[in-house]
Amino acid sequence: MKRMLRLALTLCLLASAGHCAAQAIVRKSFARAERQTALLDSLLTAPDLFPASWNPDGTIKTNTARGWISGFFPADIWLLYEYTRDAKWLDMARRRTAPLDALRHYTKTHDLGFMVGCPCSLAYRLTRDDYYKQLMIDSSEALISRFDPAVGLIRSWNNKDGKANPFRVIIDNMMNLEMLFLASEFTGDSRYRDIAVTHADNTLKNHFRADNSCFHILCYDAGTGSVVTQKGGQGYSQTSAWSRGQSWGLYGFTMCYRFTHDRRYLDRAVKSAEYFINHPNLPEDKVPYWDYYAPGIPDEPRDASAAAITASALLELARYVPEKEKLYYKTAEKILRSLASDRYLIPAGEKNGFLIDHSVGSKPSKSQVDVPIIYGDYYFLEALLRLKNYKSHK
């Protein structure tokens, strides 16, 4: 009996040691995030520009509200407010979110979920200010204008010549569905949700390969709705596996399961999780190379943003899959421990206030390679908050 008690006590101590270690990563990273965000805000004096990434010449690459990354810096600040409840972050978050109002009726992008949904869903949850809710509803209306019922998908990019074909759809687009699910919850109007489900169903049907990886870009025929060709996009090739794309797929279908409880979405997310966890080219620290089949592995840049997105997704998926909960939680924790290490976490005061280093925007376009990128910071902070609040469901 005594031995049993000692064993139980040891297990309990070990469990709480693990918990304490995880909380230490969260505290350290958020303390750094506060310093870095204050710096980035002070350097970025233009009120209506948004930080995208760090240029090797030491300047900040910025976008207007119309750049797909515009929502992430405001969203970072909302996460800081959620963590600290300090009014200074609330004021800054409101100020940095305000220029996104320009997107309310903007129909030329499929990325409105990233641009408006990410910051405004946090803003609404934390303030209950209807302004943010309405901005998401209006932006959802703009987003569904890109849905084509004949194809059953939301169009990603417009063609420069204005032609209907090719009708391109990228895996990233799964992430924009979250705002549509929310818009239906806010309004009771099922159109947004129905479109999100149709888009997810067709992505499920067409975007994944037998080995459980996914393509970046599919080109559909706008007339028939059938797939014409696949493209490598930001990945190495048509047959390789672009790391961030795999993360978008994992996160996107986990999120779709949250709103629908459709087992097919959960199964898809689990397969994507297994792809990540078991991949022979995944490095020991679990921060993937920018493509799982980049030709120069192990001398290829990592993509810390893909790791951060994956960690955040795994911490949600862990709650839905009891038999894999421990594996997913531990994998996410390991990723976050790596990102919080000196290899990735940017020293206070450096790189203009970005938080994590070594992400890749698009290697084929030689754009933003091995630099800090704002969405890496956002998903890192989101994942840390999920880790902080994690309660085992066993």
Catalytic residues: 111, 172
Q: What is the Cα–Cα distance from 197 to 182, expressed in whole angstroms?
A: 13
Q: Which is nearer to ligand GLY, 76 or 82 (CB)?
A: 76
Of 76, 82, 141, 172, which lies in the binding site for ligand GLY, with binding defined by CB under 6 A? Answer: 172
* Assigned token pair, 33: 């995030």
Positions 115 through 134 that interact with ligand GLY (CB under 6 A): none
**Whole-number minimum distance, CB 233 to ligand GLY, in Å?**
9
Q: How far is the CB of 66 from ligand GLY (least distance, A)?
A: 14
Tokens 């693990």 found at: 18
Evaluate whether 94 touches 71 at the Cβ level (below 8 Å): no
- What span, in angstroms and rounded, lies between the C-alpha atoms of 290 and 358? 10
Residue 120 exposed, middle or buried by CB count within 10 Å (0-12, 13-18, 19+):
buried
Minimum Å distance from CB 26 to ligand GLY? 25
Site string for ligand GLY, 58-87 (x = CB under 6 A): ----------x-------------------
One-letter amino acid identity for 96? R
Residue closer to ligand GLY by CB (options 352, 359) is 359
Q: Cβ distance 275 to 260 under 8 Å? A: no
Least distance from ligand GLY to the Cβ atom of residue 103, Å = 16
The enclosing H or E element of 154 equals strand 153-154
User: How far is the C-alpha of 368 from the C-alpha of 145, rounded, in Å?
Assistant: 31
CB of 207 to ligand GLY, least distance (A): 14
Report the nearest approach of ligand GLY to the CB of residue 375 (Å): 7
Binding mask 226-245 for ligand GLY (x = CB under 6 A): --------x---------x-
The residue at minimum Cβ distance from ligand GLY is 172
What is the rounded distance in angstroms from the CA atom of residue 71 to the CA atom of residue 111?
10
Within residues 243-302, the interface with ligand GLY by CB under 6 A covers 244
> Per-residue x/- marks for ligand GLY, 352-371, CB under 6 A?
---------x----------
Contact 189/183 with Cβ under 8 angstroms?
yes
Question: Closest distance between ligand GLY and the C-beta of residue 392, in Å?
Answer: 31
Gyration radius (Cα) of the chain, Å = 21
Extended beta strands in the chain, E state: 50-54, 60-63, 147-148, 153-154, 167-170, 217-220, 227-231, 359-362, 367-371
Query: Is the CB of residue 268 less than 8 Å from the CB of residue 276?
Result: no
For the bound state, the minimum distance from the C-beta of residue 200 to ligand GLY, rounded and expressed in Å, comes to 17
Q: Distance (Å, rounded) from C-alpha 316 to C-alpha 178?
A: 14
SS3 assignment, position 95: helix
Q: Between 23 and 64, whose beta carbon lies closer to ligand GLY?
A: 64
Q: Which is nearer to ligand GLY, 124 or 375 (CB)?
A: 375
DSSP classification of residue 288: -
Token digits for 377? Answer: 């910071």
Our CB check for ligand GLY shows the closer of 82 and 172 to be 172
343 burial level (CB within 10 Å; 0-12, 13-18, 19+): middle
Q: How many residues bind ligand GLY (CB under 6 A)?
A: 5
Binding mask 322-341 for ligand GLY (x = CB under 6 A): --------------------
CB-nearer residue toward ligand GLY: 194 or 370: 370
**CB closer to ligand GLY, 184 vs 305:** 305
CA distances from 281 to 174, 238, 244, 278, 347 (A): 25, 18, 15, 9, 28
Q: Is 351 in the site for ligand GLY (CB under 6 A)?
A: no
By beta-carbon proximity to ligand GLY, the closer residue of 353 and 361 is: 361
Residues that bind ligand GLY (CB under 6 A): 68, 172, 234, 244, 361
